[in-house]
């Protein structure tokens, strides 16, 4: 039933990317992700680009300022690493600085990975509530008492890591790469976008 509703609504239309901007998310992948979104987030046909590494510059402050919306809406974070793997996070509450309040996010959020034409989605396990942590020096999703983040990117927006984490029960999201402490794998970020979904 859900698939037929999406077909009736039509394909996702991606707006806000300039013609000369190197994109990460395309309409094909957006249409694969859409059925995995919460019911109300599936309804809007148009997704709006809030931030692009290529279009808006390399700045975590710019990412935060462009992503924080007066009316909360879901945000899809899309990353591409130096091994051409595409992955990211959906946060139903949007992307906003934590400002010392710690983690935020709901059970509608998830991590995802697209590789070899296959989309894998990792929903919260319920074992903790470490969904999103948006600090001045980094952006992260998922975590555990072992300090391993499901997805982490540093202030430079060029270096990150991914590890299995308790929050989402995920596999490592990025391409095989540099081993780090706690079972994390490091990656170089070559593309990063944040999309308003809804």
C-beta separation of 57 from 51 below 8 A:
no
Prediction pTM value: 0.94
**Count of the separate structural domains present in the chain:** 1
Q: Using CA atoms, how far apart are residues 64 and 50, in angstroms rounded to an integer?
A: 10
pLDDT of residue 53: 97
Question: Could you give the percent of the chain with pLDDT greater than 70?
Answer: 96
**Rounded to 5 degrees, what angle do the CA atoms 66, 163, 50 make?**
10
Q: Where are the beta strands (DSSP E) in the chain?
A: 13-15, 46-52, 74-81, 86-91, 110-115, 118-122, 132-135, 138-141, 151-154, 159-162, 178-179, 185-197
Q: Note the pLDDT tens digit of each residue in 35-73.
A: 999 999 999 999 999 999 999 999 999 999 999 988 879
**pLDDT band, residue 124 (cuts 50/70/90):** very high
Q: Note the pLDDT tens digit of each residue in 107-118.
A: 999 999 999 999
Average pLDDT score over the chain = 93
Q: Note the pLDDT tens digit of each residue in 131-163.
A: 999 999 999 999 988 888 999 999 999 999 999
Range of the domain at 61: 2-197
């Amino acid at each position: 039933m859900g698939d037929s509703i999406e077909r009736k609504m039509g394909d996702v239309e991606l707006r806000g990317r300039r013609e000369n901007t190197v994109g990460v998310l395309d309409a094909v992948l957006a249409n694969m992700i859409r059925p995995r979104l919460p019911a109300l987030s599936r309804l809007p046909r148009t997704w709006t680009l809030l931030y692009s590494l290529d279009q808006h510059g390399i700045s975590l402050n710019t990412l935060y300022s462009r992503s924080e919306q007066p009316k909360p809406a879901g945000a899809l974070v899309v990353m591409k690493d130096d091994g051409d793997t595409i992955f990211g996070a959906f946060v139903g509450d949007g992307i906003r600085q934590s400002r010392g309040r710690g983690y935020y996010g709901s059970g509608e959020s998830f991590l995802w990975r697209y590789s070899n034409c296959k989309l894998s989605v990792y929903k919260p396990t319920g074992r903790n509530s470490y969904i999103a942590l948006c600090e001045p020096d980094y952006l992260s999703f998922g975590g555990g008492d072992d300090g391993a983040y499901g997805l982490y990117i540093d202030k430079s927006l060029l270096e990150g890591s991914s590890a299995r984490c308790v929050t989402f029960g995920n596999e490592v999201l990025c391409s095989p790469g540099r081993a780090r402490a706690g079972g994390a794998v490091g990656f170089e970020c070559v593309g990063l976008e944040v999309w308003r979904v809804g």
